[in-house]
Structure 1
């Protein structure tokens, strides 16, 4: 590499130092994200494939199969919960895995961007002032600190909730005669709204549209008024299918040989293969989402580093417009090559054929354009 080329490279580094530094940081972040994502994807695939080989389908949920103690099992059946979940304050009761009480308070909120603009008359030399914030009221799940408002006077919010949101979980939940562990119960997060049939006796509580209002006027609430709504997850008598480790009469999350703990629970009556396939699809969607984010970051990094890369290409005897296209085309090509190379490296042990195909695709732009 000639001295003039070195001087040219050094000149680019000096004039674009900030841009190149940001580009290096973005590149590092993209590679770390990509490696982390692919490592997790590989681990998840290993665990699910291992579970598919180990799982023992149980013929019935009505009797505990003691001979399969310690094994990975699959069972389907209706949920049985006890005792019923209750909220005595509102007379609500339901047979379900979880009962959620959501409490909201009517409070002042500030919007700094929707105030009235300050008009400046022609010839007025005074500095431009930002618009004054606007204030409105809304139902909020958390306290809004009115002390932080630009104009707190006249917009005072309460400093605490007189009633707290909470989630109750049933003491005993079974599929047939198989008890589900507490770790599995925590995964019931698909909440559906419901309400009681009658207003609580006494007080100022009013039932309207499935919600309980602590207010004198439902249609004109005051700051500090409350409204409460109830939700349930995992209604009793609903059919579920699960793949997990059987310990005695309790089904616990499946733990792979690699140490990954998975809750493989699916609503409906499904076979073991279907349950595992569903979780494969979920993991794949999550992995592809992060791959897209990582690829976008790689494109941004290459775009920031492009001036230096072009100078290096010239110094190595390659044309400045390597790739025969625009900077955008070159950026995407380089980012794709890096992306595919990293993914191929992560999958080489578990999916060698896939890794080989990705490696060939990664080499396509350099071979085609003679990098």
Structure 2
């Protein structure tokens, strides 16, 4: 009669241990298989060309800046995300329907089966782009932009006051997002521009130690 109680206690202990592990696991810094943990403040030249894992505070020197639009941040990097309000074609067999919506990248309406009345602009005046600070390092190692792109991002609100006067006059702003037209009644060809910035702070990265740089693993 006591066996169910003993079994129940054993299962509870296992569950508690599993729960502790689930809570503890995210605290363990992720690293690439086969990497070696190093002190970023004192990288060893003997580790040249090896896959290393390191944890430390990102130090940002300079600013990430989108010069054409005047948006900048002291974060490691800045991402510009552009969408254009365009005609879209949806075909099922011989039947096609058309609607409008926000899309990344210019859609070639000349390739539509019925291009008449569904014309899109040929190209976008601004495209998606990434901008990085002059230098970002962990300890004595410089983190190259290709590796910075693996960092998590967060929204960066933009304001009209940051834009050059000629662009500020033709854009509007809603919740930190820039629109080249009326966000409540967009027209074909209108742009929507959002920004995200790379998060700084303490991070764990894995990469190749090449001289004074931390580079992506091929």
What's the TM-score once normalised by structure 1's chain length?
0.43
Change (3 A) 1:77 1:207: same
Change in Cα spacing, 1:87 to 1:150, as seen in structure 2 (3 Å) is same
Q: Aligned-residue CA RMSD in angstroms? A: 2.8
Select the structure of larger CA radius of gyration.
Answer: 1
Determine the structure 1 residue equivalent to 2:193. Answer: 228
Match of 2:42 among 54, 59, 64: 64
RCO higher in structure (CA 8 A, sep ≥6): 2
Question: Structure 2 CA distance, aligned partners of 1:94 and 1:105?
Answer: 24
Residues 278-293 of structure 1 correspond to what in structure 2 (within 5 A)?
Answer: none
Change (3 A) 1:97 1:154: same
1:55-83 Cα offsets, whole Å, 9 max, x none, are 2542xx4x434565536654321111222
Q: 1:228 Cα deviation (Å)?
A: 0.7
Contact 2:159–2:178, Cα closer than 8 Å, also in 1: no
Q: Distance in 2 between matches of 1:170 and 1:146?
A: 38
Contact 2:86 2:103 (C-alpha < 8 Å) held by counterparts: yes
Matches within 5 A, 1:137-176: 137-176=100-139
* Match status 1:195 vs 2:157: yes
Distance between the aligned counterparts of 1:172 and 1:209, measured in 2? 30
User: Who is 1:133 aligned against?
Assistant: 96
CA distance in 1 between counterparts of 2:91 and 2:53 reads 55
For residues 121 and 145 of structure 2, what CA distance do their matches in structure 1 show?
36
Is 2:174 the partner of 1:208?
yes
Cα distance in 2 for residues equivalent to 1:73 and 1:148: 49
Distance change in 2, residues 1:229/1:248 (3 Å)? same
Matched residue, 2:204: 241
Whether the aligned pair in 2 keeps the contact of 1:104 and 1:142 (CA below 8 Å) is yes
Cα distance in 1 between the residues matched to 2:118 and 2:208: 55
CA distance in 2, matches of 1:133, 1:243: 48
Match of residue 219, structure 1, among 172, 181, 184:
184
Q: Deviations over 1:24-66 (max 9, x none)?
A: xxxxxxxxxxxxxxxxxxxxxxx82x43xxx2542xx4x4345
Distance 1:164 1:245, change over 3 A: closer
Partners of 2:83 and 2:111 in 1: CA distance: 20
Normalized per residue, the structure richer in helix is 1
Deviation of 1:184 (Å): 2.4
How far apart, CA to CA, are the structure 1 residues paired with 2:59 and 2:210? 19
> Which residue in 2 is equivalent to 1:185?
148
Query: What SS class does the counterpart of residue 119 from structure 2 fall into?
Result: coil
Counterpart check, 1:105 vs 2:70: no
Question: Per-residue CA shift, 1:115-144, capped at 9, x if unaligned?
Answer: xxxxxxxxxxxxxxx875322111111222
Higher strand share: 2
* In 2: Cα distance, 1:152 partner to 1:246 partner: 53
List aligned pairs for 1:257-276, cutoff 5 A.
261=217
Say if 1:68 and 1:246, in contact at 8 Å, map to a contact too. Answer: no
Gapped regions of structure 2 (runs ≥ 5): 1-31
- Note the 1:21-40 alignment, pairs <5 A: none
Q: Does 1:80 align with 2:59?
A: yes
When the two structures are superposed, what TM-score results if normalisation uses the length of structure 2?
0.69
